[in-house]
Structure 1
C-alpha cells in the first residue's frame, strides 16, 4: 500500500504539472523574456527607440545558430502585451510555445517528484511533530523543494535558454537537443546547474505557499462539510475551494519571493556577468534599481495563479479517483 500510495502521488503530480504547463506556456515565455538582461527581453533594437542593445555574433551549434541578445537593459521595459505582440509579429505564434518540450519533460517528473516527496516527508514529519501542524508543512515543503530542484535543474536551464532564443519568423528553431549539446560542450556538466542557488532560495516561496495552502484548504473544506450534505454537490464545491486556496496562497508567496525568479533567469543566461545569487541581486539593484527585481511579475502572476489552480485541482482529483 505504501508503494501504491507513492506511485499514486507521482502520477497525480505529473498529470497536474502537464496540464498547467500546456495552458500557461505563452505567459511563461513572456515572463522569462521580461526577466532577462537582454534588450527588451528578446525584442530587437529596431523595435523600440529606448533600446541601446547590440546583437552578438551568431554562435554555431551543431549546424544551427544561436542569436544572443546582449547589451544594456532599456530604460523602459516593455509591457506584457507589447512583449506578446512583438514575439508574434517577429517570430510567429510558435515562439509563444518555445521551451514547451523541456517544460513538459521537466514539469511532469518535477511535479511528480515534488508531490511524492512532499507526501512522504509529511508522513515522516507527522511522527516527529504534531500532525498537520504548520511545522510539518514547512519541513515537508523544504525537503520536497530541495530534492526536486536538484533533480530537474538541468531541464529548466535548457528551457530558459530556449525561451530566451530570439529568432526571425521562418528561421530554423533551436532544438532542445542542440541546446543541451551546446551547454555541455561550452560549459560542461556544471553549466546545467547554473541558477541552482537561486532555486534553493526559491524554496522559501514553496514553504510559504504550502503553509498558506494547507491552512486555507483545511478551513474551506471544513466550512464546506458543514454547509453541504449532498455528496455530488459537496465534491464539486470542494474542488473549487481547492483551486481558490491554491490561487490565493500562490499569489501571496510569489509576490514575497519573486526576486529569486529574476536572479535565477539572469544566472541561466549564457555568457553573462552574473556569477552568484547574492552577487546577481546586488548587481541588478545597482545597475537597474529595485524595481528591476520585479520585472515580469505581472506575467508571472497571470501564469502562476491559473497554473497552480489547475495543477492542484488536477492533482487532488487524480488522487481522489485513484483512492476510491
Structure 2
C-alpha cells in the first residue's frame, strides 16, 4: 500500500476527514493562548494573531498586511476581521478533509464568504499576487470568459473553481508565451523562456533546473529560440514527473540503479501512457545537462528535476505526527518480513563497521591488559603506536585481525537486538505529537545497551583471549572453539557485570547524542548527506566511548586469563580495588585513546552503512525508516514541518496546506511590506 492510501486510511472523528481531530478542551486552550481581542465577553483572534503568531507564516517584524488579511480571511467566514473560536474549530475540521488544499484555496478567493467566487473576487486576489505583479494576466482572454461568462457575471461554485485553478496556471504559461512572441512566429528567445518559467512555473522547478534552463533550452535549438511545441512539452513533463518515475520503474522491473536508454524509456512510456517523443527528448536532455550523462538515466537523476509533490509532503508530515495507521495494522507476516529485512541490514552494517576498525580494537585490548604493578620485567608496549608496530613485526598484518571471526559472528544479533530494543522503548515514550523527551531517549538507549550483553559478553571474552594470545612468544595457536569449550556456559558470561556497566551507559549516551547530532547536521529539508551521517556517528561515539573506559578496563581484566606473576580478580569490586591499589587511578583509563579511535569511527561507519543500505535497498513495508535516510528530494515549498507544539489535530498539517497554495497553484502572496522593504534598502 502506498503512502497516499495509508494517508486515506487515517480517520477524523467528525466529518469523514483523514486526520484525528484535536481534543476540544485542548483546542480551546490553544485558541485562548493566541486570541488577543475580547468583544462582548468573547475572545477573538485578529489576522495577525492567526497568521503571524499562530501559523508563523511571515516575519513578525516585517510582513505584508494585505497578505495577512487575505490568509486570515480563509478562516474568518463571517468576514468581520476577527476569528472566533467556532470559526477556528471549524477550520480545524476542514483541514482533516482530503481536498483541504482546494477548499482552502477556494476560501482564499471567496472573499465575501457566500460560497461562490465571482470574477471581481478572483481579480481582487490575483492582483495581489507576486506573479500578476511581475507578469499581468489578460483578464479579457477567452479562457476567463469560458469560466466566468462573456459578461463575467457568472458565479463559480467550489467544484468548478477547483477545476479552474487546476487549468489557470497552464493558461497563464501560454499567455506568457503569447506576450513574448510579439511577431507571432511561434518562437520565443531562451531568455524569455527562462523568465516565463521562473515567473509562472517556479513552483514546479528545482534549483538545479532553474539554474540550467537556458542551457537545456539552447541545447535543442541552434538559433537559441524556443518553439511553442517545445514550451508545451517542457511544461507537460514538469507536471507529470511522478508518471515519469513510474515509467522508469516499469522499464527496469522496479530496480532504481539500472541505467535506461532513451529507446528503452520510450518503449515503456508508450506501453504505459501517451508521453510524447518530444517530452522524452527533453527529459534526457535535462538529465544530460544536470548530470553530464551519456544518453542514459537512473532513477535518482529524476529527483533533480521533480520537486517533492504536495501529497508526498502531506503524507510525510502525517507519518511524523503518527496520524497514519499504526504498524500493527500491517499484519504479523509483514512485520516479520520487515524485522528480517532490518536484521539483515544491521548485520551487514555491523560487519562493515567492526572490520574497518578491528586493528584498533586489538591494540586497545592489549594495552588494557598490560599490567604495570604485578608483572616482573619491562612493559611490553610503551604506547598504542608501539603496540601496533610490534604486532605487525612479530605477527604480521593478519595478526591485527586475531579474533575477528567471533566478533563478526556476534555483530548480527548484537546490532539487531540493540536497534530493536531502542526503537521499541522509544515508541513508549513518544507523546501524541511524535516528540520524545531527553530522559526517554536516555532510558531507551540504556535498555538497548543492557539487552545486547546476552550476545556480546560470550563473543567478547572469546575475542579478547584470541587477541592477547599472540603476546606469548612461541605459544601454540589458539582457536575459538577450544576457548568456548574450556569456558563453558557460565564461563562465557564471566565479566558480565562489568559488561553491563560499560554497555548500558554507553548506549544511554550514544543513541541520544547520535539522534541530536544527526538532526543538527541535516539540511533544511531534514536530509542527511552520507558524510554528515558518518560525522554524526563518529561525534556521538567520542563521549560515549571515553566515559565508559573504566568499565571496559575492568571487563577486560576479568575476562583475560592471568599469566604467572599477574594479579587475579574475583569480581568487579575486587578488580576495582586491586587495579587502583597496584596501578593507580590512571590505570582505569588505559586504552582510552585507542577505544575512542575504535568505537567512534566504528559506530560512524556502522550507522552510515545501515542508513545508506536503507536508501539503496529500501523496501516499503508500510512502517518507518530512519529519519533523514531517504533519498534527498528537492522541495520548494518552504518549511513543511511545524515547529509550533500548539499545531494539533487538523492544524498539524496547516503549514503544508497553506504553503501548498503556493507550491501547487503558484499563488504566492507578498510576504514583506513593500514600504518597509524599500526603507531597508
TM-score above 0.5, yes or no = yes
Task: Mark the CA change 1:291 to 1:128 in structure 2 (over 3 Å): closer, same or farther.
Answer: farther
Shift of 1:173: 2.1
Counterpart CA distance in 1 for 2:487 and 2:548 is 28
Instruction: Determine if the alignment matches structure 1 residue 108 to structure 2 residue 441.
Output: no
Shift of 1:254: 1.5
The answer to whether the 8 Å contact 2:521/2:532 transfers is yes
Residue 540 of structure 2 aligns with which residue? 249
Per-residue Cα deviation, 1:90-135 (whole angstroms, up to 9, x for no partner): 2222211100011111122211221122222222333699733222
Instruction: Kindly report which structure 2 residues correspond to 1:270-281, keeping only aligned pairs within 5 A, or say none.
Output: 270-271=561-562, 273-281=568-576
Instruction: Determine if the alignment matches structure 1 residue 122 to structure 2 residue 431.
Output: no
Instruction: Kindly report which structure 2 residues correspond to 1:253-292, keeping only aligned pairs within 5 A, or say none.
Output: 253-271=544-562, 273-292=568-587
The answer to whether the 8 Å contact 1:91/1:168 transfers is no
Residue 351 of structure 2 aligns with which residue? 18
The answer to whether the 8 Å contact 1:8/1:319 transfers is no
Residue 596 of structure 2 aligns with which residue? 301
Task: Provide the alpha-carbon RMSD of the alignment.
Answer: 2.6
- Please state which structure has a larger fraction of its residues in helix: 1
Instruction: Kindly report which structure 2 residues correspond to 1:83-102, keeping only aligned pairs within 5 A, or say none.
Output: 83-102=387-406
The range that moved more, 206-215 or 130-139, is: 130-139
Instruction: Kindly report which structure 2 residues correspond to 1:67-216, keeping only aligned pairs within 5 A, or say none.
Output: 71-72=375-376, 78-126=382-430, 131-166=435-470, 172-184=476-488, 189-202=489-502, 203-216=504-517
Instruction: Determine if the alignment matches structure 1 residue 239 to structure 2 residue 535.
Output: no
Q: After TM superposition, what 4+ stretches of structure 1 lie above 4 angstroms from structure 2?
A: 72-77, 127-130, 167-172
SS across alignment from 1:322: coil
Per-residue Cα deviation, 1:123-168 (whole angstroms, up to 9, x for no partner): 2333699733222221221221111112331111111111111357
Residue 11 of structure 2 aligns with which residue? none
Q: What number of residue pairs does the alignment pair up? A: 281
SS across alignment from 2:529: helix
Task: Mark the CA change 1:212 to 1:192 in structure 2 (over 3 Å): closer, same or farther.
Answer: same
Per-residue Cα deviation, 1:197-244 (whole angstroms, up to 9, x for no partner): 1111111121011111111112222x4427xxxxxxx5xx53222211
Task: Mark the CA change 1:38 to 1:292 in structure 2 (over 3 Å): closer, same or farther.
Answer: closer
Counterpart CA distance in 2 for 1:129 and 1:114 is 25
Residue 322 of structure 1 aligns with which residue? 618
SS across alignment from 1:174: coil
Shift of 1:287: 0.9
Counterpart CA distance in 2 for 1:138 and 1:73 is 45
Q: If the length of structure 2 is used for normalisation, what is the TM-score?
A: 0.39
SS across alignment from 1:78: coil
Counterpart CA distance in 2 for 1:73 and 1:215 is 48
Residue 9 of structure 1 aligns with which residue? 342
Instruction: Kindly report which structure 2 residues correspond to 1:218-229, keeping only aligned pairs within 5 A, or say none.
Output: 218-221=519-522, 223-225=523-525
Shift of 1:183: 1.8
Task: Mark the CA change 1:118 to 1:311 in structure 2 (over 3 Å): closer, same or farther.
Answer: same
Highest RCO, 1 vs 2 (Cα 8 Å, sep ≥ 6): 1
Task: Mark the CA change 1:171 to 1:273 in structure 2 (over 3 Å): closer, same or farther.
Answer: closer
Task: Mark the CA change 1:21 to 1:177 in structure 2 (over 3 Å): closer, same or farther.
Answer: same
Counterpart CA distance in 1 for 2:574 and 2:549 is 16
Residue 606 of structure 2 aligns with which residue? 311
Shift of 1:77: 5.3
SS across alignment from 2:385: helix
SS across alignment from 1:250: helix
The answer to whether the 8 Å contact 2:458/2:493 transfers is yes
